[in-house]
Structures are given as C-alpha cells and as structure tokens.
Amino acid sequence: MHSLKPTTVGAQILFSIWLSSPFIGALKYSFTKPNKIGLCIGIYSGFIIGAYSFYEIVAEGDAQGAIAIFMLPALVFPIIIVSTACINVKKT
C-alpha cells in the first residue's frame, strides 16, 4: 500500500480532487436544481457508504485495495444521482 502513495504535491492534489469529485459535482448540481432534500440525502448516504468503503479498503492494506480507492468516486456518483432522481418533494 505504501508503494502506491502519491509522492509529489501535484499527484496528491489530483488524487484529492478525484476522490472529492462526486461532492464537487453535487455542489455544482445544487446551484441549478431545486431538489435540495434529495441531494442532501444523496450526499449523506454517499458519504457514509464511501467512508465505510474507504475504511474497509484501507484496513486491508494490500495493493488491490490501493487500486480500489481510485474506484470510490465511481461508487459514490451513482448513489448521489439515483437518490436525487428518486426523492422528489412536492410543494403544496
């Protein structure tokens, strides 16, 4: 796991942006769409599932886990998108 750590500041910044990209996309989406409750539920559920997956991957400490961390945004993006699309709040 230590051999796959980013060694430069640029690589660390790129890796940080990649891991936080679902939440950056959700922030951008929140400015244009009115479904705030669905988006909040998506962000929180994506964060909880992503944090749990991150913990499970890091706790193992093998090379496959280090590569699997790069796939976490691919896991969190659909969670945010599906919950935002499925949870609609009707204004009365």
Q: Read off the pTM.
A: 0.70
Q: How far apart are CA 32 and CA 14, in angstroms?
A: 26
User: How would you write the pLDDT of the chain (92 residues) with one tens digit per residue?
Assistant: 565 677 788 888 888 888 888 888 888 888 887 777 888 888 888 889 888 888 888 777 777 777 788 888 888 888 888 888 887 766 65
- Confidence at residue 1, expressed as pLDDT on a 0 to 100 scale: 53
The whole-angstrom distance between residue 61's C-alpha and the CA centroid of its chain comes to 20
Q: How far apart are CA 42 and CA 36, in angstroms?
A: 10
